[in-house]
Structure 1
Amino acid sequence: MDFGGNLWLIVIAAIVVLIVAWLLLRPRQRIQLGDSTPLRPHMSNPRPEAEGRGLAGEAAAATSDVAGEIIKAPVHQALAGGEARDEFTRIKGVGPKFADALHALGYNRFEQLSRLTPEELDRLDGQLGPFRGRLQRDRVIEQADYLARGDTDGFESRFGKL
């Protein structure tokens, strides 16, 4: 076995391994934005979740859309543009601006509000800005549950006349 002839191959292989390791393991540049950094349009307003349910909800909505097309069933309401919206101002404590804030975050139906989990409720509450805390204080979720079910008698007995 000729060690001198293989030495060049070993050195070249070691150099290649070192270069690949350096490319894969080198420290990445981390950028920290300060408070005075101007925000670009794609940074200032994150796209609201269309369904209000995160990635799993988006996947479920897409699946129901495709399945609905296959079996010719209207399984999903139209979203952007011609979307049906419930009148959130029927809820006690929700005015036009608060309703617009909920619509801007992708919530358009009483049913969407009534099905919020505690984690989603906290996330939504954090996004409401000047209306923070109003969902719990005015019992908006409970009111939306009555209105989603169409139980106006139960709503009026609990919260007063509509």
Structure 2
Amino acid sequence: MDLIREYWWVLAVLVGLALVFIILRPRQRVKLTDSAPVRPHMTYSAAPPEGRGVAGEHAAAATDVAGELLKAPVHRALDGAGKEGEDLCRLKGVGPKFEDALHALGFHRYEQIAGLTPTEIERLDEQLGPFRGRLTRDRIVEQAHYLARNDIDGFEQRFGKL
């Protein structure tokens, strides 16, 4: 007990230093900009694309009904609706015949190709005939992610000039 009575000021100084550190410690400063490019791991964070099975269709229908009640446009354009098809030949490894094969299977936009899951890629590969294996070998889905976001700089850094 005599030790505490004689050295109470050391304890007070330690507590004071701890409080000063907590109050005045350096903080990380993060500046967010709108000009930063969206990278592949940042896409589709808000909602998964429509058309992913029964649950996805029910979710899309519920969103449409809620949008009508709130008078807000919530339904994204589905396959073939809205804008016309894009030039799929811009993807490295896709020529006119491969583009025709993709069109025959219902793929007209980069967004459609970018949204493919690994299971869908396997199923699609079986239907591509002479182009079997090209989606994964030429990393066409990854390329489509960049072009769907219109990230030309990211595409050219990763795959070369368009």
Q: Please give the range of the TM-score, normalised by the shorter of the 2 chains.
A: 0.5 to 0.7
Query: Which residue of structure 1 lines up, in the alignment, with residue 102 of structure 2?
Result: 102
Query: RMSD of the TM alignment (CA)?
Result: 2.5
Q: CA contact under 8 A between 1:125 and 1:135: conserved in structure 2?
A: yes
Deviation at 1:133, TM superposition (A): 0.9
Query: Which residue of structure 2 lines up, in the alignment, with residue 154 of structure 1?
Result: 154
Report whether the alignment pairs 1:132 with 2:129. Answer: no
Which of 114-123 and 52-61 deviates more?
Answer: 52-61
Q: Secondary structure at the match of 2:86?
A: coil
Report whether the alignment pairs 1:121 with 2:121. Answer: yes
2: distance between equivalents of 1:93 and 1:150?
A: 19
1: distance between equivalents of 2:154 and 2:88?
A: 17
Query: Which residue of structure 2 lines up, in the alignment, with residue 85 of structure 1?
Result: 85
**Structure 2 gap ranges (5+):** 1-49
Deviation at 1:149, TM superposition (A): 1.9
Q: Secondary structure at the match of 1:120?
A: helix
2: distance between equivalents of 1:157 and 1:95?
A: 21
Against the structure 1 CA distance between its residues 116 and 66, is the aligned structure 2 distance closer, same or farther, given a 3 Å change threshold? same
Deviation at 1:140, TM superposition (A): 0.4
Q: CA contact under 8 A between 2:60 and 2:75: conserved in structure 1?
A: no
Against the structure 1 CA distance between its residues 78 and 53, is the aligned structure 2 distance closer, same or farther, given a 3 Å change threshold? closer
1: distance between equivalents of 2:51 and 2:130?
A: 20
1:2-24, Cα deviation, whole Å (9 max, x unpaired): xxxxxxxxxxxxxxxxxxxxxxx
1:1-56, Cα deviation, whole Å (9 max, x unpaired): xxxxxxxxxxxxxxxxxxxxxxxxxxxxxxxxxxxxxxxxxxxxxxxxxx764444
Q: Which amino acid aligns with 1:128?
A: L
Against the structure 1 CA distance between its residues 73 and 82, is the aligned structure 2 distance closer, same or farther, given a 3 Å change threshold? closer
1: distance between equivalents of 2:104 and 2:64?
A: 23
Q: CA contact under 8 A between 1:143 and 1:155: conserved in structure 2?
A: yes
Deviation at 1:74, TM superposition (A): 5.1
Percent of aligned pairs with the same residue? 62
Q: CA contact under 8 A between 1:92 and 1:140: conserved in structure 2?
A: yes
Which of 94-103 and 134-143 deviates more?
Answer: 94-103
Against the structure 1 CA distance between its residues 68 and 128, is the aligned structure 2 distance closer, same or farther, given a 3 Å change threshold? farther
Report the TM-score, using the length of structure 1 for normalisation: 0.56
Report the TM-score, using the length of structure 2 for normalisation: 0.56
Which of 152-161 and 96-105 deviates more?
Answer: 96-105
Which of 85-94 and 64-73 deviates more?
Answer: 64-73
Deviation at 1:150, TM superposition (A): 1.6
